[in-house]
Structure 1
């Protein structure tokens, strides 16, 4: 192991912080708290794969949101590359939202 070994937990936290700066245009809550991010994988080469969904297949940002996520995650210095995969399995539902998001939207 070299001294340049990355701490994937620290990197994961950085990725989450970046994801929390990206908002769904229709809902004033960030995509992380909305539950749109299903999984974040970081390999030893500092390449990131993000499995995410959209609130609906007809989401107006279906084209731009994954690109925004990729670009913002790639902007983290330690990240070599980032790829976003969109899935609708399982479909997004309000159950995936954090308590914070539900509170923000007056659902609690």
Structure 2
């Protein structure tokens, strides 16, 4: 088993992912992990967890809340010594990043238009946050 494979099957990593799955986007009824907003999970030798995540839009009305919720959920996982979250904007999120399960949950089988999902996020995908 390669080190990448071992990391994918690490019990702590699985518990971290389960914790992230408890955090849901308030506008799209899907958890952040299945929505494809979690780009990277790194766990060091001291079991400190660092997460790179994005948002569906830089001008998300809960842009400060969601990363805090992810951090709190991960920090509460048994075995995690510390948690940190960075919000990144590259690559920009698109509905294609959603898991198949999330697409099915949203009925992405033809009845749910990805363009409408982008419209629901205020058509700000790809724009940098503003302080207006």
Which consecutive residues of structure 1, in runs of 5 or more, have no partner in the other structure?
1-6
1:60 to partner: Cα distance: 1.1
In structure 1, the partner of 2:86 is 85
Give the alignment's TM-score, normalised by structure 2: 0.75
Q: CA RMSD in A?
A: 1.1
Give the alignment's TM-score, normalised by structure 1: 0.91
1:66 to partner: Cα distance: 0.5
Which consecutive residues of structure 2, in runs of 5 or more, have no partner in the other structure?
1-5, 110-132
Cα-to-partner distance string for 1:42-72 (whole Å, 9 max, x where unaligned): 0001100001000000111101110111111
The whole-number CA distance in structure 2 between the counterparts of 1:51 and 1:92 is: 13
Mapping of residues 1-108 of structure 1, within 5 Å? 9-108=10-109
Q: Which of structure 1's runs of 4+ aligned residues deviate more than 6 A? A: none
Which protein is richer in helix relative to its size? Answer: 2
In structure 2, the partner of 1:4 is none
> Which of these two proteins has the greater Rg computed from alpha carbons?
2
Give the number of aligned pairs. Answer: 102
